[in-house]
Amino acid sequence: MREFRLGQNIERRSLGAYQLPLGVAETSLREPTQGYTVRYQEGTDEEPDTYVFHAVISHDRLRPVVDAAFNLLPKEVTPVVEIGSRDAYRSVDIYLGEEPMPLVEFLRTWYEFEEVLLEDVTIGLGANAEDPWVDVFVDSWKGILISVPTEMRDEVEAMLAAHGLQEVAETWDEQPPSATGDSETLVTRDVLEIVDEHSPDLDELLLVLRERWLLELNVDRETNVDDAGRHLGMTLWHAIVLATSSEGEADRGAYISVWMTAGSLAQAEELLEDALLDHPQWVFESIYTMDRVAFDDRPPSLSSLPPTRRRAAVHEIDIEPWGEEPPTGPGDMPPRRGPAGGAGGGGGGGVN
């Protein structure tokens, strides 16, 4: 695996005494009050009554509070990742673990990439458990959302107090930019070091997290709807697949780009699988990205494609092999939207 490193000489911005993550290049937000808010949330037939904490703390004091929050979790947890989406009809991608995993395995990966994950403002992540019902989520602005059963309130307050945090009426005095971003109030930037075409990017880091934590995109695979729940019918999809040599050569592989029309994620994956059968020299390894694309954003090679399509079909396959040198990456892709989640009030959060 290639090493993920923060970019050099990125100047950290501050709002008064509050240091921002490196991913924030500019913002018009005012300095927040450092501390935490807490609210009572009545339970349901399946969920207990809980207290929901949201802590905001300057970045230079952040890491030990995050570590202490994760230590509130029990021995088995389900990971959660939220990341700004490049999908044309969805603003945020939410990935959930397929099944609970040992907390030590979750934390091993978290600590390996913690330095990057605490700086990038397009990604939020955490974990939750059902016994006890605990949810810890670090949002994209690196606020810490903690949901616990009522009997754990004192424990959480004691932990936060030990790190110099007290309850406040509010942290941010205005709602931060949404997951789709707002160019008038926020300018974001990449935090990973990109020195050449071989440098790993955020999509590669997400792929590692998906594989380590067995994450699946939290969407209905059999339908095709937008954020508002409107049915879209047939849409254009673009997938990039990682493939290895069918001859078992470890130093050879390929990025395979596929454009297609499909009426659901499940159907798009079926088309993808069938299309790869025509290229037996390559063996499917994983899906690097899979997103719906607005018709007006189709590539020039699909300029003759009719705007209304009734049947699922593959339109174009492009294979970019790589040999003994490291893979150069899948080429230019639209940037992810960001930030995912908000800084005031727990944007998104984990899902029990």
Q: What is the pLDDT of residues 172-200, one digit of tens each?
A: 987 665 434 444 578 889 999 988 777 88
pLDDT at 87: 96
Bin 158: left if φ > 0, else alpha if -120 < ψ < 50, else beta.
alpha
Task: Please state at what angle helix 103-117 crosses helix 62-70, rounded to 10 degrees.
Answer: 160
**Per the omega criterion (within 30 degrees of 0), is the bond before 339 cis?**
yes
CA pseudo-torsion sign 192, 198, 204, 208: negative
pLDDT band, residue 318 (cuts 50/70/90): very high
Distances in whole angstroms, Cα of residue 36 to Cα of each of 90, 145, 170, 208, 234: 30, 9, 8, 32, 45
d(CA 33, CA 55): 10
Q: Answer yes or no: is pLDDT of 339 > 80.
A: no
- Which pLDDT does position 23 carry in this prediction? 95
Letter for the amino acid at 18?
Answer: Y
pLDDT at 186: 80
Q: Of 75-89, 214-228, 314-328, which gets the smallest average pLDDT?
A: 314-328
HSE toward the beta carbon, residue 69, CA cutoff 13 A: 30
As a whole number, the mean pLDDT across the chain is: 89
In whole angstroms, give the CA distance from residue 54 to residue 227: 25
Q: Give the per-residue pLDDT at 183.
A: 47
Element (H, E) at 215: strand 215-217
